[in-house]
Amino acid sequence: DAAAMRHCIDQLRRKASPVAVLLGSAEAGKVTLVAGISREVESRGISAGTWIREPASLVGGRGGGRPDLAQAGGKLSAKLPEALAHAKQDMRGILKN
């Protein structure tokens, strides 16, 4: 559930930095995505709200939020692995620059 994912992201951000995490779950045909980034990552001009948009689109949904924490939902649960892989690749590319 989204609250549990937000809690996990908060715990990770307290223990490590830089951190960029996007978690996802699919249950009963509904996809939930939650993205969180540390202040160090945010200081590079990256926004969790912007980062989550493409994965959300891949699962047939929309998302947004604050620069450090964003949430999205969708209906295409079969696309969740693709969405998570895309988010990982996207963030790796961003952090290399």
Taking residues 16-24, report their average pLDDT. 93
Residue with tokens 């945010």: 42
CB-based contacts of 91, cutoff 8 Å, min separation 6? 20, 22, 46, 51
96 — pLDDT class (breaks 50, 70, 90): confident
| pLDDT value at residue 94 | 84
Task: Count how many domains the chain has.
Answer: 1
**β-bridge partners, 21:** 36
What is the rounded average pLDDT of the residues 36-63?
95
Q: Residue 14 is part of which domain span?
A: 2-96
CATH number (domain holding residue 63): 3.10.310.40
Report pLDDT for 95.
Answer: 83
Amino acid at 47: S
